[in-house]
Amino acid sequence: MDEYQRLSIERKESSTRGWNSRGYLPHRDELSLRQTITFRLADSLPHDTIRQMEAELALQPEDLRETERRNQIEHWLDAGLGCCALRHPQVATVIEDALRHSDGERYHLLAWCVMPNHVHTLIQPLVPLAGIVQSWKSYTGRWALARNAELQLGISGTSFWMRDYWDRYIRDQAHLVRVETYIHHNPVKAGLCCQPSEWPWSSAHKPYEKTGPRSSSSA
């Protein structure tokens, strides 16, 4: 199967998948529907922290649990737990290169930020999300694990990335602006810099020609 045939099949699958679930939250995975995606390192949330969070969430009303879970996860990620291997310049560069690699072919890359223990992206997918995220993780994970000792990354175990990821589709133009602002300000919120443009591993710092449309017509 050549590259053209593979992309055609993936686009067909993406356009028909629609709403789906990976076992907890519903996901809307459709052709050209813009998405914000967050994926994190395997040790970024210790098991004790997760158990504590879930125990506290059990006391919350059911309709508020997912929002509160997301807020708490963001809080703990910004606390900089785990080895924070993405803080290493060489690792962060490899992550950025992976994000840019298929821009315009498998997705349009609209914004990104590489934090010390997690990554935020904003894309317009042209193929299913799961394949996009897996392609990012597989290469970068192998690269980092192979250089763990050399770069003194402090990775424990055989897993670099957490298996799953978090995604949310962009509803409209106002939502798009809020998400991009959040992505670029995350290093400021975490106390890593004073201005978004000061953080070297984000689209706020590096001049970058975004390939995707910025109107709300595809939302």
Do 39 and 165 form a contact (C-beta atoms < 8 A)?
A: yes
pLDDT by residue (tens digit) across 44-63? 987 777 777 777 767 778 77
Q: What predicted TM-score, i.e. pTM, was given to this entire model? A: 0.80
Q: What is the CATH number of the domain that holds 127?
A: 3.30.70.1290
Mean pLDDT calculated for residue range 56-76:
77
Give how many domains the chain has, as a whole number. Answer: 1
Full domain range(s) for residue 38: 29-44+80-198
Amino acid identity, position 63:
D
Render pLDDT for 10-31 as a digit per residue (tens, 0 to 9): 444 444 455 444 444 556 667 7
Q: Higher pLDDT residue, 199 or 24?
A: 199
Name the DSSP letter for residue 213: -
pLDDT of residue 145: 98
The per-residue pLDDT for range 93-146, each reduced to its tens digit, is 999 999 999 999 999 999 999 999 999 999 999 999 999 999 999 999 999 999
Using alpha carbons, list the distances in angstroms from residue 98 to 2, 121, 143, 157. Answer: 22, 12, 11, 23
Whether 131 is in a domain gets the answer: yes
182 found inside a domain:
yes
Please give the Cα distance from 41 to 153 (Å, whole number): 12
DSSP string for 87-118: GSHHHHHHHHHHHHHTBTTTEEEEEEEE-SSE
Q: How buried is 205 (Cβ within 10 angstroms: 0-12 exposed, 13-18 middle, 19+ buried)?
A: middle
Give percent of the chain above pLDDT 70. 79
Identify whether 138 is part of a domain: yes
Q: How far apart are CA 54 and CA 77, in angstroms?
A: 16
